[in-house]
A and B are shown apart, each in its own frame.
Chain A
Amino acid sequence: MMSSSPNHFDLEQSIAQWRQFVLRRSAILNDDADELESHLRDQIDALLTQGLHADEAFLIATKRIGNIEAVSQQFAEVHTGRLWRNLVLSQPHSNWLNDVLVALCFAIAAALLFQIPRLFGFNPEQHEWVYARNISLFCLPLLAGYWVVQRQLGTRAWWLILGTVALFAVTMNAYPWQPISDTGDLAVLHLPIILWFLVGIMYTGNWWQTDARRMDFIRFSGEYAIYFVLIAIGGAVLTAMTIGLFSFIGFDIEIFAQQWLIPSGAMGAVVIVGWLVEAKKGTVENMAPVLARIFTPLFTLLLVSFLAVLLISGRAFDMQREVLIGLDAMLIIVLGLVLYAVSSREPTQAPSLFDTLQLLLVLAALCVDVVALSAMSDRIFAMGITPNRLAALGENLILLVSLSGYVWYYWGLIRANHAGFAKLERWQTRMVPVYVVWAAVVVLLLPILFSFA
């Protein structure tokens, strides 16, 4: 009974091939392949001792591991972040052209939408305020619509978009704003937050139901911001070149560029960038986590030194309006930084120095927030309440709650090892609707409260 048949079975080579095959899935990392391989080898050993041939043992063992595609899908569900970092998209991208066409349609629709007020005799030159108040309504609902099509969410989603747009279109255009209106400016600033959340609901594809998809949306938002800036720079160069070239041959197209090319291009870009971020998410290392890592220490340094100077000079309590606005803007940037840093973290990783740094950043931000809050309440007591002060007060209070939560859960993460990360994630995604609700209050109620001043 000699087993050296002509087509001799090489067990090691077969296992190596199988491993290659497993690793082709983007949701399965080297470590996971190691784990599966050791399982396979254990199984093969057991079968060999039962007297099976190597090729039979290999066949049965691989069969028992099961369908790798299904296993990798399960892995992808557990570690949703991984698909963002890997080199190959696991699905053959046959509907690529289709995606592009859909994105283009929505981009063109957004571009046209911006020009529609012209039909009613408005133009960006003389009616700046009409455009300022509606600008986010021209583009973001269409980005949301793009996701409705992509995720096949159906009519319910369309009604939700339509309802939201109708509500805010009426608010922005029918409220009797006063000529110089702080509440109007605040509404313009806060409306995009609400609409971006609408995009998020559609982007998740499951109505904002699971933490994993919510985290995906936060990753998406980070990449989106960076890509949008890059494309805006590219667009600016292109426009400048176009104007320049035409002026050489005696055509002045500056007005055309300002009124048609730039605004409509920007509206279309809102949709195109959305498509781009999703299409490339599996192909390149993402930018946002890298930037978050670079800027976390720098922002920590900035906040800590700012706090130190503030305390030493004793100027903490008579901060002026501009300083407070600056502080709030910075706190929002810090919050964004923390959001991305959390969303790009490998969940099962043990706490590292970076997490401690992150905790330090959040702590510093929390202190700055407390200082800002005390200064703000001083101003409110001394000079009464205004729309701006109320909006800032609410925002700082929400930041206080949110940042305290981050401190608490980061502390838990660092102390209790990686078990704490899920809680941190949950806190992060649970807070997002709170920001949105506050933005809705500012847009819808504040103007009424202050009689549109």
Chain B
Amino acid sequence: MNLSKDLMAASSTPLVLGVIAEGETYGYEIVKRVEELSGGELQWTDGMLYPLLHRLEKQGFLISRWHVGDSNRKRKYYAITEEGRKTLCEQQQQWQIINQALNKIWRDMQRSDNNDVQFA
């Protein structure tokens, strides 16, 4: 499914922070993890992840280091900072509010649909 651009932009920060909060990781792994989490529905343009990572680092939510991993490839690893965790927590609360509100609406809509059928 193609998500709208705005929704992608809004959700990318908590997703990236959330994935990195699971443990220090690098760009390619983040993309794979997000794909896995969304059952393959969320497909980013991979390149766009990096400016976002740099922005979050600049804001102090992440710190990075270069590290040669097991496959002998030099990669830039990102870890979350205390401030990053705080932001993630705030974002989580905000998304939960939206999530709850939307869930109620979906439920109400379904109920009224069912009623319509009964009256008919």
Contact = CB atoms under 8 A, between A and B. Distances in A.
A35 interface: yes
Q: Report the contact-size class of chain B (Cβ under 8 Å from the partner).
A: 20 to 34
A71 B50 contact: yes
Contact of B48 (A35, A74, A417, A418): A74
A42 interface: yes
A422 B27 CA distance: 23
B91 interface: no
Given A36-B47, A65-B45, A75 B73 contact: no
B107 interface: no
Interface string B46-65: 11101110110111100110
Given A34-B74, A419-B81, A347 B48 contact: no
Interface in A333-384: 347-348
Contacts of A71: 45, 47-48, 50-51
A417 B60 CA distance: 9
Residue among A67, A71, A421, A422 with max Cβ neighbours from chain B (10 Å): A71
A66 B27 CA distance: 14
A38 B48 contact: no
11 contacts: A31-B76, A32-B50, A35-B50, A38-B74, A38-B75, A65-B46, A67-B45, A70-B45, A70-B47, A74-B48, A79-B54
Given A35-B76, A422-B60, A70 B48 contact: yes
B24 to A, nearest CB: 15
B46 A66 contact: yes
Interface of B: 26-28, 31, 45-48, 50-52, 54-55, 57-60, 63-64, 73-76, 81, 83
A417 B83 CA distance: 13
A70 B44 CA distance: 13
Interface residues of A, number: 30
A285 interface: no
Contacts of A31: 76
A322 to B, nearest CB: 45
A78 interface: yes
A377 B27 CA distance: 58
Contacts of A418: 57, 60, 63
A36 B49 CA distance: 10
Given A38-B27, A67-B45, 9 more contacts: A34-B76, A38-B73, A38-B74, A43-B28, A64-B46, A78-B55, A79-B54, A418-B57, A419-B63
